Every structure is written in structure tokens, then in C-alpha cells.
Structure 1
Amino acid sequence: MDHHVKLPEGSIEKLTTTLNFGPTHPATHGVFQNILELDGERIVSTEQTVGYIHRAFEKIAERRPLYQITPLTDRLNYCSSPINNMGWHITCEKLLKIKIPKRVDYLRIIIMELSRISDHLICNSIVGVDSGAYTGFLYVMQYRELIYEIYEEICGSRLTTNIGRIGGFERNFNATSFQKLEKFLKEYPGVLKEFGNLFIRNRIFMDRLQNTGGISAERALNYGFTGPNLRAAGVDYDVRVHTPYSSYEDFDFTVPIGKSGDNYDRFLVRDAEMWQSLSIIEQAYKKVQEFKGADAEVYHADVPEYYLPQKEDVYTKMEALIWHFKIIMGETAIPKGEVYQSVEGGNGELGFYLISDGGRAPYRLHFRRPCFIYYQAYEELTKNGLLSDAIITMSSLNLIAGELDA
């Protein structure tokens, strides 16, 4: 579709073109639409449209007991679904006033940081693909696969994991899961270094990313940016540091920040965060190994009214069968209260605002999805830029459609 732009009298009339970038397009990273107005290859304006896969999770949650909400969180940012699961469980524990054992906190941190690496690994390798460099993507995907194998040992699932329970995990980590973790910690640093060598000082890659899709710290804060996209603009806000949860205060790590907030800085921040996550996982694994005897078998809090009993107990003990039935069927009323809990997701601050009126399901539940917030800035980030830059800007923002349309 062509448009004639009305210019001041005496000027030559200018022709612009409207282009639908999405909703079905391999570079949109999901099902959402951008209506671009182009002057040649330069973007004059954009209009974002979301809602193509809206699933009404927040309304569904009002009819579900707490445990049946966990699989909904999987389907927000599915590139790092265990962080979503943990965030929801920590929110429930805050409402229920459950104290979590330290070993459980450390095990959760291992899983959440593996998820962060998986998320950043996907984002940065796709930025490479969208700038024409496919090798890095193919190379690192085998290590995303290894992360998924660790998930699989722990909970039996890979992408949408439904991992963990309110109070901890459904089972203790087995020896194979720790062996695979050790393999990852041993091999991935070398791979990540090679991945960085492919891109960070690559002149073509730098020319494609530098000075494109930039945003100032002030504008990023005004939009409500969090996570790597905010830190790339120079603001060192990280939920793990500013509002620690799951014993993150026990760990030593730095928060990488950028300067210009452009596509290149976002790439560098995520790369640096993967190194920090590796350090956190190593620290957490050492802390887990310090637990001996009975303490090494602790993987959940003692809260029988909310924690599913062992299956063998359900088959042989009446009390376990009763608790199993009450929890599964949502027969356990949750206390009245109003809580907000956030975690540092792969894309930024992932928050859960939960209101309970004392019933069996939340009275109201709101997900704070970071993607939905920073997608509003897409027009400002791409206006007056080239069409090819718009593709990379979307990649470096790490837009996940499942998180946009909750």
C-alpha cells in the first residue's frame, strides 16, 4: 500500500510504502505485527499490534488452585521457563509465609542461572543470525541442549518445565543431573569465549549493531525498561541485587552495564551476564556440596498442606492420600492477603501481583511481563533507521510473543 505524504506548498509530493512486518515472519520471533511506513528503506513510522496469541492467563488463574497456575507461567518467556516457575512459587511462599531451606534456595539458583544462560544464549545467537552470521547459532545450540538435559533429569521436562513446587522441588537432584552440570561448567566457558571471538570484535557485526536501536537511560526508565535492555543503557538495576530473593545475597557477582543502550551494548551486556551466571552457578554448586548427611537430602520445606507428598506414600498412607487429594483438587484454602514478588527474569523484572480473598484460587493475579513494557518503545528505537536495522533491534530486545500476550 502506498501513501502520498502531504508536504508544504511548493514541495514535491513524496511517496511512502506501508509494509507489514509480521505477524507471520521468521524474524519477528513470534506472532505479532509491526506496520511499517517506509520512505525507501528508511522507517518513517511504526505501529505495533499484539494479541495474536493472547491466552487470558490472568483470568484463567482466577479459576485455578495455585499449583495449576505453574504451567501457565511456563508459557510466558518459554526460553527461560524455570525462572517463571520459581518466581511464581516464591510469590506463593511469600503469601503463605513459608520459610525455605538454604539448600533449596541454592538449588533454585542453579536452575535459574542455567535458565538465564539459555535465554541469553538464544537471544545473542539469534542476533547473529539476523545480522547474517549463522555459525554461532549452530555452535552454541548444543549447549542449550545440555541445559535442557539437566532440566530433564530434575523434572522430566525440557522447554515448558513446570519445574519445582511450592516449598522446593518435587524430588532431589540425582547424581546424573550433577554430572551433567559439571560437564556444562567445564565445557561452556571455552565455548562462550569462542562465541564472543566470533562476534564481539567482528567488524561487520559491529557495523551492523553499533549506533542502531539506541535508547538513553532516561527514556528507558520512562518506558519502564528493566533487565539487560535497561542495563545496556547504563542503569545498574538488577532485582537480584536490589531486592534479593532465594538467598542471592549470599553470592558474589557484578552487574554488567553498557553506555549507549544500542543493539551492540545489549549484545555485550547479555554476553557478560552469561559469564556472571556461570560464576553464580559454580558458587551455588560448591555451597550445595557442603551439605552432608540428612541435610544433603533436603529439597523442600515442611509444609504438607501445600507440598505434594511422595507418590509411594500416597499409595500406602491415608494422611498422604488426603493431602494429595486436597492439593490436587484445590481444596486447600489460601490465606487472605496481597503480595507482589518479582524476580530477575531473562528479559528483566518478572513480577507477580497476587490478591487472595481466602478462597481456593487467587481473587486476582497480574503478571508483570517485561517484554510487554519495552515493546512500547519499538517505534522510538527504529524511527528514521533502516528496515534491516529494525530486524536486529527486535532481536536484541529479545521480544518473546508468549510474554507479550499473557
Structure 2
Amino acid sequence: MSEIRNFTLNFGPQHPAAHGALRLILELNGETVERADPHIGLLHRATEKLAETKPFNHSIGYMDRLDYMSMMCNEHAYVRAIEHLLDIEAPERAQYIRTMYDEITRILNHLMWVASNALDLGAMTVFLWAFREREGLLDAYEAVSGARMHPTYYRPGGVYRDLPEQMPKLAESRWRKGQDLERMNRWRNGSLLDYLEAFTGDFFDRVDDYETMLTDNRIWKQRTVGIGEVSPERALQMGFTGPMLRGSGVAWDLRKKQPYAKYADVDFDIPVGSNGDCYDRYLVRIEECRQSARIIQQCIAWLRANPGPVMLKNFKVSPPTRTEMKDDMEALIHHFKLFTEGYCVPEGEAYAAIEAPKGEFGCYLISDGANKPFRVHLRGPAFVHLSAMDEMARGHMLSDIPALIATQDIVLGEVDR
């Protein structure tokens, strides 16, 4: 009988289940994990220090590149912190647009999560299905911002522009032609709101498909039930937020507890788990997809009935229109000044937090009265959750490590910042 030996194993950063530039050093007793030491820093881009060297608006795009699955949610926290310092508030229509796009972003994040989690544990079909839906929602990103991944759409005082009246159609190509192209463009004959209404109406059936494939699947449950259990008390002690906390049975959601944008005016439920394991966190995220679609539908109804401005008429932060620039030299000068030098923010400090798809994402700003922040610090949920990897992994098998990495839903751009 061979003797079980202790040894150290590098898990990543090239491992397909590492979800980015993560290196885990695992101390094993046979195939049982005795210690897991996450090593980060391979992706560090100094986002916080870079933001301190640029005018306030120039750093909005940096927020997209932190957790690059939760782009507009990251922008929302940063923009809200600036608005707190300026003591301004976006118009009501812009608030509804932000609420709608925050939930579109939540679905985008959770689709990527269920796709990669399923693939990590051996299920490929769900990966292909979830990416089909992601493509549709990324088209909604592109329609308002021109970019699919890094939109830079939110602005202090509102959003970049109003929703388009015509949803762009897919062009014919070697992959899309004939009846297939006609079917794919069926939802694109009207406005962006028409498109999103059709998408969300269909989306509930797509989520049911994911559950049919996974929820009662014997292999899926063997890989997730009882894995990475965290009690409600311990989840709070370790600073968990988002689905990691709600999966342990704690109904904490900033959209309900500290409402921002228009979350106080829409109806939705907070799904919670009971066992705090990988399976419960999966169920929470799946149900959050449905609740996000409900919120989007309510925002669509309000936006249809209530036209209005989407940017505050405050010329300290708002650029003049093209018509104004053509008729007024002062407006033209203001345009160039705003986009080069930016604007000065009153001295003070502010913290703004939003319920990002992975948990609480917060932005702490200090202004010394200049046109750029004196200090920027970002509170990323994935960084906090990754710090619990050692405790969650101890006693589990080596084959459970992909399930634990996936259940934390980490993105290293946000962890390293």
C-alpha cells in the first residue's frame, strides 16, 4: 500500500479554471487540500493611482476595465461618488436608464458566471446557450455607447445620450443569411426598448432551460452540494456581500437596504440560500437573473411613458450640444475646456456603493478642490471573497477547487486593481 505524501501544487495562473491571472499554491495531503494560498498581483494595473493623475471624467473608462463583466455597475459607483462631491443628481429619466443598465449588466455577469462555472465542472451546452443570450445583451450595450465591453456610458449628472429610437440590425454575412438573418433581426425592427422588451420576455424561458440542464442534474449536484459551505455568521465576519452572502441565507442587498437610482420604485425579490454551499449560490444567481429581467421590464414601461432629459443642465459637468457650439463661441470654448481640463470638484470626501453583480462595489473619493481626485480607493467584492479561499478549501478535494473558484465569481482585474 503506497504511503500518502504531503506536497505543494501550483494551481494556475495558466489553469483553465483559474479565471484570470490567479495563482493558487495548494498544500495537499494526497488529494485533500490542507491549505490554499492565493497569489495575486500578476495583473496589477494601478487603476487607483492612475485615476489620481487624470481629470475626473477621464477615469470613467478605467472603471469598465476592473471587473470587466460588470462594466456599467463599476461606472455607477464612481460617477455617484463624484455626484456626491458636486452635490448634484441626475435627471429622473437618466436614473431609470442607469437602473435598467445595471440590471442588464447583472444578467451579463451571471450569464458569464453560469457559463464558465458549468464549463469548469464539465457541462459545455450551458456555456454555448449562455453566450447566445450574452451576445443579445451586448448588442444593447453597443446601441447606446458604440462599445460592447467598455462602454463609458455613465456621466456625472446623467448618461452619455438617450436611448436610440432604432435598434441596429445585423448585416448579412457568410454566417448569417436568408431565414437565419431574418429570424435574428426579428426583434430589431423597432427601438432599443422594443428590443429589450422582446429579449426579456423570452429570457425567462432561457433561464428555465439552464435549470433543466443543471439544477436537478445528478453530476452537477455531486460537484456543488456541500462544497464550500459558509455559515451566515462567518460570511458576515469575512465581509461577504452579494450572492456569496445571500447564498448563506443573509438577505442583504444594497438595492433594498440603501436604495439608489430608482430601485426604491421598482418591485423585485431578494433570493437567499439556506446552506451556504456552491449549490445554493448557484440557485441565488439563477433567480437573480429572473429578478433582473423583472426590473428591466418595469424600467422599459416607465421610459416609454416618460420622455425627458438624460443629462443635467449644469454646464460645469455637461457639454454643450453641437448646435450650441456652431452658434456660440463661448459654448465651443467650454466644450474643449470640459474635455481637456475637466472641472474642479469642491474639497471633501465621499463614498458611494452599489450592489454590483458580485457584491458591494464601492468608490471612496477625496477631493482637494482640483480637477482630479486627490485619492481614489475602490472596494471590490471579488478581492474580499478571494481572501476566504483558504478557509473554504480546507478539507475539500483537489477536484473541488474549480467549483470553489467559480462560486466566488472572481475577476482578477478587480482583485488586483
Distance 1:357 1:265 in 2: 45
Q: Secondary structure at the match of 1:46?
A: strand
Distance 1:119 1:331 in 2: 32
For the Cα contact (< 8 Å) 1:172–1:297, is it kept in 2? no
- Report how far residue 183 of structure 1 moved: 2.5
Distance 2:330 2:197 in 1: 39
For the Cα contact (< 8 Å) 2:4–2:30, is it kept in 1? no
Matched, 1:364 2:375: yes
- Report how far residue 279 of structure 1 moved: 0.7
| Corresponding residue of 1:393 | 404
Deviates more, 1:274-283 or 1:123-132: 123-132
2:114 maps to amino acid? N
1:21 maps to amino acid? F
| Corresponding residue of 2:267 | 252
The one-character-per-residue Cα deviations of 1:288-339 (angstroms, maximum 9, x if unpaired) are 1121xxxx14111111111233345435432322222222122421111111
1:310 maps to amino acid? T
Q: Secondary structure at the match of 2:211?
A: helix
Matched, 1:234 2:249: yes
| Corresponding residue of 1:282 | 297
Distance 2:402 2:221 in 1: 15
| Corresponding residue of 1:5 | none
For the Cα contact (< 8 Å) 1:33–1:48, is it kept in 2? yes
- Report how far residue 54 of structure 1 moved: 0.6
Deviates more, 1:84-93 or 1:144-153: 84-93
For structure 2, the residue ranges without an aligned partner over 5 or more in a row are 168-191
Distance 1:250 1:319 in 2: 40
| Corresponding residue of 2:173 | none
- Report how far residue 228 of structure 1 moved: 0.6
Q: Secondary structure at the match of 2:9?
A: strand
The one-character-per-residue Cα deviations of 1:91-142 (angstroms, maximum 9, x if unpaired) are 2111111122211111111111000011011111211111111101101211
Matched, 1:60 2:50: yes
Q: Secondary structure at the match of 1:272?
A: helix
Distance 2:250 2:342 in 1: 45
Q: Secondary structure at the match of 2:376?
A: strand
| Corresponding residue of 2:199 | 184
1:27-42 matched pairs, under 5 angstroms: 27-42=17-32
Distance 1:186 1:331 in 2: 42
1:164-175 matched pairs, under 5 angstroms: 164-175=154-165
Aligned length: 391
2:329 maps to amino acid? M
- Report how far residue 146 of structure 1 moved: 0.7
Distance 1:44 1:161 in 2: 43
Q: Secondary structure at the match of 2:57?
A: helix
2:211 maps to amino acid? G
Distance 2:124 2:237 in 1: 35
Distance 2:351 2:343 in 1: 21
| Corresponding residue of 1:85 | 75
Over the aligned positions, Cα root-mean-square deviation in angstroms equals 1.4
The one-character-per-residue Cα deviations of 1:339-360 (angstroms, maximum 9, x if unpaired) are 1110000110000011101011
Distance 2:301 2:319 in 1: 28
Distance 2:241 2:105 in 1: 18
Distance 2:320 2:276 in 1: 48
TM-score using structure 1 length: 0.93
* Residues 325 and 127 of structure 1: CA distance in aligned 2, closer, same or farther (over 3 Å): same
The one-character-per-residue Cα deviations of 1:260-288 (angstroms, maximum 9, x if unpaired) are 11100110000011111011111111111
1:170 maps to amino acid? Y
| Corresponding residue of 1:299 | 310
For the Cα contact (< 8 Å) 1:64–1:330, is it kept in 2? no
In percent, how many aligned pairs have the same letter? 37
| Corresponding residue of 1:375 | 386
1:242 maps to amino acid? K
| Corresponding residue of 1:206 | 221
1:348 maps to amino acid? G
2:333 to 322, 336, 346: 322
The one-character-per-residue Cα deviations of 1:47-76 (angstroms, maximum 9, x if unpaired) are 111111111111111111111110110111
For the Cα contact (< 8 Å) 1:213–1:390, is it kept in 2? no
1:128 maps to amino acid? A
For the Cα contact (< 8 Å) 2:104–2:137, is it kept in 1? yes
Q: Secondary structure at the match of 2:67?
A: coil
Matched, 1:136 2:126: yes
| Corresponding residue of 1:345 | 356
Matched, 1:100 2:90: yes
2:57 maps to amino acid? Y
Distance 2:132 2:84 in 1: 37
TM-score using structure 2 length: 0.91
Matched, 1:264 2:254: no
| Corresponding residue of 2:181 | none
For the Cα contact (< 8 Å) 1:256–1:272, is it kept in 2? yes
Distance 1:403 1:47 in 2: 18
1:148 maps to amino acid? L
For the Cα contact (< 8 Å) 2:197–2:297, is it kept in 1? no
